[in-house]
Structure 1
């Protein structure tokens, strides 16, 4: 894994990021002392990503959903 000093990392940041995206990580050092390791983030494949609406059509919400147990709840509040 390549090690670059902070000044060089600032100068070549775009190039270093492009290489990291290709899978080549690198280390940023200060005065020769390793400070951080930069590695690519592995994102899930599109078919593995969570999506909204994935249960669409799998179940039905009753028409009276908002009135279910209405009387029991009212009784709890003394109405």
Structure 2
């Protein structure tokens, strides 16, 4: 589908629907520039991406800090 940029104001929702359904939508500007409307895929979240990359026995963030760690943290 090819559409002049001047026609996109009234047809924008239809053009978006067409692009989302896989139709090729090209908007032609006054200078002849062509722009293709394509849906952008959302990044997928991958659960467990760091599994096996964090060494076991790391710091336990739920345990209280030692006095020395607390002094370092507070900048004393």
Which stretches in structure 2 are left out of the alignment for 5+ residues? 48-57
With normalisation by structure 1, the TM-score equals: 0.54
CA distance in 2, matches of 1:23, 1:38: 10
Contact kept? 1:28, 1:35, Cα under 8 Å: yes
CA shift for structure 1 position 9: 1.5
Which stretches in structure 1 are left out of the alignment for 5+ residues? 52-58
Residues matched between the structures, number: 64
What's the C-alpha RMSD, in Å, of the aligned pairs? 3.2
Are 2:40 and 1:33 aligned?
no
Runs of 4+ in 1 over 4 A off after TM superposition: none
With normalisation by structure 2, the TM-score equals: 0.55
